[in-house]
Amino acid sequence: MTGKADYLVIGGCGFLGRHLCEHLLQRGYSVRAFDIRKTFDNDKIDFYIGDLCSEEDVLTALEGVTCVFHCASPSPLSNNRALFHKVNVEGTKLLISLCKKAGVKKLVLTSSASVVYEGNNIQGGKEDLPYAAKPIDPYTETKILQEQIVLAANSSDFYTVAVRPHGIFGPRDPHLVPTTAGLARRGKFKYIIGDGKNLVDFTYIDNVVHGHILASEKLGKDSPVCGKAYHITNDEPIYF
């Protein structure tokens, strides 16, 4: 496929990516979805099935695109350090170099609030918190590296920003509710880690999408959002 598109959503067949595609269409934008698998049909979206780690696949999808949302990642539950590194770190480096080659102007990364989490409750934490010196798992380790790479790539003619949700919930959630319900069904919800007052932050999918779209619309020359990371949340965290 050739021509132009306002947005390319990498990971566009995933939970967040599909919602992003659908909201972008509602706002009148032209949309491409790039993913390693196809999970739904929509006549208004141009689908590009490929691997983020393949130069040829990514470059084809980037042609004529103004802004990229990068929300592809292996599942955090996979616990596969090599795969996280390959996709989240090397795949992101490749994406940035190909964005520049293809003349893409903007890149919005879906990062994670876990990049500042070291195992102790954080309440009211702001973006000036340092990255976790001891990330809680290999997934988070690569989300930190990925975010650093994306923010460092911001320049006078390539604008980048990172959005940091924590637990996302809403329609078609494949992670939070199914995993929690699965554990409960297997009788594994009868123990408490800590004193039962651990804080967890959940954000509704539409708010996460809205934050991403606003971030992309604000990216541009001399914009204060360029090269920065933003936490996104509903309001107060809850005890979990």
Beta bridge mates, 152? none
Least Å from the CB of residue 43 to ligand NAD: 20
Contact characters 9-48, ligand NAD, x per CB under 6 A: --x-xxxxx-----------------xxx-----------
Nearer to ligand NAD, 108 or 219 (CB): 108
Scanning 117-125, 128-136, 167-175, 210-218 for contacts with ligand NAD by CB under 6 A, the matching segment is 167-175
Least Å from the CB of residue 210 to ligand NAD: 15
Q: In the window 125-164, what residues touch ligand NAD (CB under 6 A)?
A: none
Does 51 bind ligand NAD (CB under 6 A)? Our answer is: yes
Q: Choose among 48, 42, 49, 50: nearest CA to 22.
A: 42
Q: Catalytic annotation on 139?
A: yes
Q: By Cβ distance, which residue is nearest to ligand NAD? A: 14
Residue of 5, 33, 67, 74 interacting with ligand NAD (CB under 6 A): 74
The CA distance from 229 to 75, in Å, is 22
Contact present, 219 and 154 (Cβ < 8 Å): no
The CA distance from 163 to 152, in Å, is 15
Catalytic entry in 7, 48, 117, 139: 139
Q: Choose among 87, 232, 96: nearest CA to 159.
A: 96
The CA distance from 105 to 29, in Å, is 16
Least Å from the CB of residue 146 to ligand NAD: 8
* Beta strand ranges found along the chain (DSSP E): 5-10, 31-35, 45-49, 65-70, 106-110, 159-164, 167-169, 199-200, 202-204, 228-231, 238-239
The tokens describing 7, both together, are 């947005």
Contact characters 171-200, ligand NAD, x per CB under 6 A: ---xx-------------------------
* # binding residues, ligand NAD (CB under 6 A): 27
Q: Dihedral angle at the C-alpha atoms of 47, 44, 2, 19, nearest 10 degrees? A: -50
Beta bridge mates, 167? 202
Residue written as tokens 């604008």? 159
Nearer to ligand NAD, 140 or 222 (CB): 140
**C-alpha separations of 235 from 92, 124, 182, 204, 213 in Å:** 30, 10, 27, 10, 19
Contact characters 80-119, ligand NAD, x per CB under 6 A: -------x---x------------------x-x-------
Residues that bind ligand NAD (CB under 6 A): 11, 13-17, 35-37, 51-53, 71-75, 87, 91, 110, 112, 165-168, 174-175
Which residues does the annotation mark as catalytic?
Answer: 139
